[in-house]
Structure 1
Amino acid sequence: MVKILENVYSIDHSADKNHSMESWILDCKEGTILIDGGMTPEHVDNIATELKSIGRKWSDVKAILVTHKHGDHVKNLPKLVALTGAPVKAQELEAPLIKAAVGVEVEGLKDHTVLPWCGGIELIHIPGHSEGNSSYYLKKYKAIIAGDTIFGDEKGVLSAPPEKYCLDVKQASAGMSKLLDYDFDAFIYTHGLDIMKGAKAKVKALVDECS
């Protein structure tokens, strides 16, 4: 696990250097928040290890936020809900799709819903990768946890989501510009090297390239 911002931790689930994959822990004063849960038993073990490393238990997890319905983000939800008793939340179009996929109750959130933890966590709905694909804006930290809204590589070179993984690749590419409405310096995402400084300029360059 890497502490990437104050009280914000990334959990590396990467099987190898060519396939990076993360989920995240936010250790808020209101409780601990997990964003995305991975897909294998090893990923659950990774989360357990990292919770322990910051002095937290499964019972400290207040909520599980999900970026979208794809298996590498949601397959572990039944196990994680059983371990934590925490509610699962996702964008309102994605919520029933996640429930259908893995059988857990999911609270649907509207675009721009601000959850009152860690100084405010705002859901940003950016469809295209999936119907309810979303990123989360951490206002206090000037950071975006993007999930799969944007991909990248191990050098932090950003790219639009690959067409083979998208419901509507044109919509996904066009939607990236919505991130530029936010004041952020750090950009944290599932597949690629997180950018901890000067990220907005890099996202803008990608948006301009794809427009």
Structure 2
Amino acid sequence: MLMNLNKRPPISLFLAIKMTKIPLILLIFFSASQIFASDLVEVFGISRCPDTSKFVKNQLVPFYEKFSSNFSKDFKLDFHAVPTGGSNVDGHYVNRCLHGKTECDLNKLQMCAKKHVSGDWMKIIGCIQGLKSYNKALECLPEAEEGKIVKTCAESDEGEYLLNDENSYRFNVAPLSSWLPWIQVNGKREPYAEHHLKDVVCSLESMKNEEMCQKN
């Protein structure tokens, strides 16, 4: 699905506070570590996009469920739900999404789960993906305290800031990402992964010798 490129989103209060508390030399170190220490496969998508949903349901989540226990320590798989932009409304930042408010609400649930669920947040993202109802999406959350924390996050300024931070991140690392799902490997778009995720992952230096990538 095509999505119009937005102007540079503002850095949220959460991200700004994080940055001011971290010395510049450490920020440089952390950035270099993310770029050079591992192979990074990132997926940028939106919760009600049919193409994103097809990829998440048919490729991303099945791949994760089957092989995540075999991932190399030098390999990372990540998912980013993104809005199209946003603005300040009555002193609060409010995101805009391609398919309206419900999509933003679902996106926030996904990113709050990513932040607050210690276990398989990827499965929760897959459960929420493609749903039309926010209340139905709440059923995807853990019943324990984690689920309550995710819901509170999604329904507060924290969720708005998290979603905006994802958009700020997308703008900086994938500024041309007008097609969703946008899948990139180590900072470079890899459209082949949309239908052949395992093949792409197994071509990476960090994964090619893992058991899941060995041909029988």
Task: Settle same-fold status: TM greater than 0.5.
Answer: no
Question: RCO greater where, 1 or 2, for CA within 8 Å and sep 6 or more?
Answer: 2
The structure where helix makes up a greater share of residues is 2
TM range (shorter): under 0.3
The structure where strand makes up a greater share of residues is 1
TM-score, normalising length: structure 2: 0.26
